[in-house]
Amino acid sequence: MIRRYSELIQLSSFEERFNYLKLCGSVGYETFGFDRYLNQKFYRSTEWKHVRDIVIARDMGCDMALKGNDITGRIIIHHMNPMSTEDLETNPSLLLDPEFLVCVSQETHNAIHYGDDSILNKYKIEERTPNDTIPWRR
């Protein structure tokens, strides 16, 4: 399944977007192993830094581009389709396409990769309701 930004933004809730993006990986699985230098070279490139700025502006710094879920810490640009060493060597321009990138928080990024929503703050998963933070007005 190829995940696309244009499909992601059609989903209205945080939970739907999380389920669309989750990968169900495992802790300790090596992504690049001894080829990690390729990954680091890519993330230090001028092209990546430019695209990163475009994606942050497009998503307004919101977690999974969901308005109202502002990221207060470090913003991570998540590749919606996991990248590989082969992608870096044969088609790096695909890895720079904003259609396959989205802003996420560190917490959300970890939850996506491990497919574990228990990592997430529950307020993000639950739907908000009027006066939900003011119990005496319910």
Q: Is residue 2 part of a domain?
A: no
**Tally of CA atoms within 13 A in the half-sphere of 85 that contains its CB:** 9
Identify whether 107 is part of a domain.
yes
pLDDT at 125 over 70: no
- Is 13 a domain residue? no
In this prediction, residues 38-58 reach a mean pLDDT of 90
Question: Domain span at residue 43?
Answer: 33-125
Residue 15 within a domain: no
Residue 36, pLDDT score: 63
Task: Report which secondary-structure segment, H or E, holds 79.
Answer: strand 76-79
Distance of alpha carbon 64 from alpha carbon 103, whole angstroms:
5
How would residue 28 be classed by pLDDT, with cut points 50, 70 and 90?
A: very low
Residue type, 8: L
> What's the whole-number mean pLDDT along residues 1-15?
94
Number of domains in the chain: 1
The answer to whether residue 88 is domain-embedded is yes
More confident residue, 27 or 73: 73
pTM of this structure: 0.79
